[in-house]
Amino acid sequence: MKVEVRLFATFRNGRWKSNIIDFKDGINIKEVLTHLNIRDDELGIALINGKHSSLDETLKDGDVLSLFPPIGGG
């Protein structure tokens, strides 16, 4: 199944902005993070098709997964 993965802020460093990746059926967000070498504690927000999602949320073919690191600043 194909999922569009969009990376934001520091997640783009040494990676890409958006990429369509072919995953096995039934993959969840936690497994995508592992695939991308992103630790769970580095994730601030994950959205599937614009809706806030938990790490165990299962992706479907054609989904758009957006990953954001924690937001900081002042």
Taking the model in full, what pTM does it have?
A: 0.92
Task: Single out the residue of 56, 73, 67, 71 nearest to residue 4, CA to CA.
Answer: 67
Instruction: Please give the domain boundaries of the chain with CATH numbers for all domains.
Output: 2-68 (3.10.20.30)
- What's residue 71's pLDDT? 81
C-alpha dihedral, 63 to 19 to 11 to 17, nearest 10°: -110
- What's residue 74's pLDDT? 57
Q: Give the chain's residues under pLDDT 50.
A: none
- What's residue 32's pLDDT? 98
